[in-house]
Amino acid sequence: MATSAYVDRTRLADPSYQAFLLLRTVFTVAPILFGLDKFFNVMTDWPKYLAPWIDGILPGSAQTGMYIVGVIEIVAGILVAVAPRIGAYVVALWLAGIIVNLLTGPGFYDVALRDFGLLVGALALGRLAEGQRAPRRIS
């Protein structure tokens, strides 16, 4: 009779499950860290990435806009952690919005291309999450 430890080891040996775990970890940690940094600007001066037309429609300053962005990114990272089938697509949609912002602002096309790669990774996580089910306990 199979034990839950055997089932877990078998699952951990599956390359698609390993890919799922890697992407889930990255798309949980990265948005949370980037979101937190929107409040401190340690990694970079985030407001400089805001396209002028978006800055014009946001209430307050560009930094205030970054505070809003930070909260959204933190929530998106938490959502990936607890509900990756939904969170992955939320992150992908958010990255699409970031890409539009970067392509319509001055000179951040390289960052937009990098974020496109992240968007594809988030979509891959969403597809992999569709195939994952909570492990069943076998006694």
Torsion, CA 118, CA 56, CA 76, CA 89, rounded to 10: -50
Measured between alpha carbons, how far apart are the two ends of the chain, in Å? Answer: 8
Q: Specify the pLDDT at position 9.
A: 86
Chain centre to alpha carbon of residue 48? 21
pTM assigned to the model = 0.89
The pLDDT assigned to 133 comes to 74
Largest pairwise CA distance in the chain: 64
List per-residue pLDDT tens for the chain, 139 residues long: 455 666 688 889 999 999 999 999 999 999 999 999 999 999 999 999 999 999 999 999 999 999 999 999 999 999 999 999 999 999 999 999 999 999 999 899 999 999 999 999 999 999 999 999 765 555 5
Q: Which residues contact 20 (CB under 8 A, 6 or more apart)?
A: 84, 125, 128, 129, 131, 132
Q: Which residues are CB-contacts of 97 (< 8 A; sequence separation ≥ 6)? A: none
